[in-house]
Amino acid sequence: MESLKQININVENKYFFFRRCLELLSIFLVSPLILILFLILTFIVFIDLRRNIIYKQIRVGMNGKPFTMYKFRTMKECPKCRNNYFAHQKERVTKLGDFLRKHKLDELPQVWNVMKGDMSIIGPRPEMIEAYFYFLNSIPDYSKRKIIPQGITGWAQVNYNHTLTVEGNSRKLEFDIFYINNLSLKLDLIILIKTMKTVFTGNNSE
């Protein structure tokens, strides 16, 4: 596994401050589009599931700090599966939910998490608490993916599919560490372009 280099903290902080300002400015500029899309998706998700449209879930953020993450609901209710990361059942996903997932539209409410400072647009994906401690105890250096802000999308997400296995998450950790070691505006732009391709085509979706 690629080792984590010593990062110049001053440079890192300057870049994250710059990116934070850029993220908030970008959200402000496209806020009318975000609002319209949010209202449309709110309506169709309500028609699809006839219940609460926003799904709230505790995730592990930067430095291991838990926070509440928001998503559009895409699955039918399953009390036994609630808060169980490893009980993902595809048959519970509605047809609309499957479409939203493929095109990453279920992640739109996380714009609020970005505005609150819980997340960044780009970074390692935050996991449920149960999953975090499971992989923390199973994968060496797994905690190192928490030294930077967690993201809606990231280098691991655009290069590797969703996985619940130790082997798969070990591979995704390599992508996360590569990202941390190569932080740059250029790499962030590449991730955004790859993410937008997924949004528009539904291909290579997590």
3-state secondary structure of 150: coil
Contact in structure between 97 and 73 (CB atoms under 8 Å) = yes
Contact in structure between 141 and 2 (CB atoms under 8 Å) = no
pLDDT score recorded for residue 11: 54
**Where does the chain show beta strands of DSSP type E?**
54-60, 66-72, 120-122, 151-153
What CA–CA distances, in Å, run from 125 to 8, 98, 99? 23, 20, 20
pTM: 0.86
Tell me 183's DSSP state: -
Q: Which residues contact 157 (CB under 8 A, 6 or more apart)?
A: 125, 195, 206
Burial code (b: 16+ CB inside 10 Å, e: under 16) for 101-139 equals bbbbbbbbbbbbbbeeebbbbbbbbbbbbebbebbbeeb
pLDDT score recorded for residue 86: 58
Token pair belonging to 176 = 């996360």
Paired residues of 69 in beta bridges: 57
Token pair belonging to 35 = 């609002």
User: Tens-digit pLDDT profile for the chain (206 aa)?
Assistant: 555 555 555 556 788 999 999 999 999 999 999 999 999 999 999 998 877 899 999 999 999 999 999 999 988 766 555 555 555 566 778 888 889 988 999 999 999 999 999 999 999 999 999 999 999 999 999 999 999 999 999 999 999 988 889 999 999 999 999 999 999 999 999 999 999 998 988 776 54
In what helix (H) or strand (E) does residue 101 lie, and over which residues does it extend? helix 95-102
pLDDT tens digits, 50-89: 778 999 999 999 999 999 999 999 887 665 555 555 555 6
Among 128, 137, 129, smallest CA distance to 71 is for 128
